[in-house]
């Protein structure tokens, strides 16, 4: 079984299409670590596609708050504006789908899906220390997560942590061979709003049999996604940040 791993799509249809085209023919099943919506201008296209194509999935913090009653005070003003716009724009069926996605961690076979940490979908795993704390709560050798929008992996090595990131700027892909005796936290990066200074859409391919994770970047039509954000009246920083991958 070959898996396509995606996370943090954030209503960016152009980025999602580029990922699916780039990975075509190289996977059997799609896994998603949450945040289908928020920030971008195409929530319905992204959620319709997800409902038709994605297998195991957990909700992200932006999906959870599609339920009307959910409080938004945790979000900064720009994120909050995008959430309110999405609530007004997206179809009732898709709002309900997003709000009712399962909360992580979701255990499937030999791996787990989570949005933030395995314990808390709002918590970030962005450095060795946070990874070390998160490893205390993992229940499978491989845990896939998102939320930080940074493509990376962490390996538990005795009492410390080894971090892995793209070995070379602008690399189109890099591979990580998982050691059979080790435990890993793996972030495929963000499809729709990367924040690791590489504006290309991020994703990963995973093959349990060969124990290989292939981290990938796919160029997409950023200008088209930006124009839609501007036309929708969403806050300008949501358009401009896409160009810098920040």
Q: Site residues (CB under 5 A) for Zn ion? A: 8, 35
Least separation in angstroms between CB 178 and Zn ion: 25
Least separation in angstroms between CB 169 and Zn ion: 23
Nearer to Zn ion, 79 or 178 (CB): 79
**CB-CB contact of 107 with 143 (8 Å):** no
Residue nearest to Zn ion (CB): 35
Least separation in angstroms between CB 62 and Zn ion: 6
Least separation in angstroms between CB 134 and Zn ion: 17
Distance of CA 161 to the CA centre of its chain: 22
Nearer to Zn ion, 58 or 156 (CB): 58
Least separation in angstroms between CB 147 and Zn ion: 6
Nearer to Zn ion, 35 or 198 (CB): 35
Least separation in angstroms between CB 55 and Zn ion: 20
Task: Report the C-alpha gap between 11 and 42 in whole angstroms.
Answer: 5
Nearer to Zn ion, 86 or 155 (CB): 86
Nearer to Zn ion, 134 or 156 (CB): 134
Nearer to Zn ion, 37 or 156 (CB): 37
Q: What are the φ/ψ torsions at residue 163 (nearest 5 degrees)?
A: -100, 145
């Amino acid at each position: 079984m070959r898996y396509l791993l995606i996370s943090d799509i954030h209503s960016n249809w152009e980025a999602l299409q580029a990922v699916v085209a780039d990975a075509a023919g190289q996977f059997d099943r799609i896994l998603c670590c949450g945040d289908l919506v928020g920030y971008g201008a195409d929530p319905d296209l992204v959620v319709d596609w997800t409902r038709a194509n994605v297998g195991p999935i957990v909700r992200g913090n932006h999906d959870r708050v599609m339920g009307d009653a959910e409080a938004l005070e945790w979000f900064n003003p720009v994120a909050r504006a995008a959430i309110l716009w999405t609530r007004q724009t997206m179809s009732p069926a898709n709002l309900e789908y997003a709000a009712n996605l399962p909360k992580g961690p979701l255990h499937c076979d030999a791996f787990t899906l989570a949005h933030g940490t395995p314990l808390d979908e709002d918590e970030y795993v962005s450095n060795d220390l946070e990874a070390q704390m998160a490893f205390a709560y993992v229940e499978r050798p491989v845990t896939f997560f998102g939320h930080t929008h940074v493509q990376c992996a962490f390996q538990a090595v005795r009492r410390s942590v080894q971090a892995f990131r793209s070995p070379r700027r602008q690399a189109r892909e890099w591979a990580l061979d998982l050691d059979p005796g080790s435990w890993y936290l793996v972030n495929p990066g963000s499809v729709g709003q990367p924040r690791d200074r590489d504006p290309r859409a991020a994703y990963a391919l995973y093959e349990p049999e060969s124990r290989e994770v292939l981290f990938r970047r796919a160029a997409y039509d950023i200008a088209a996604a930006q124009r839609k954000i501007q036309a929708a009246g969403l806050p300008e920083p949501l358009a401009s940040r896409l160009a810098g991958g920040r």
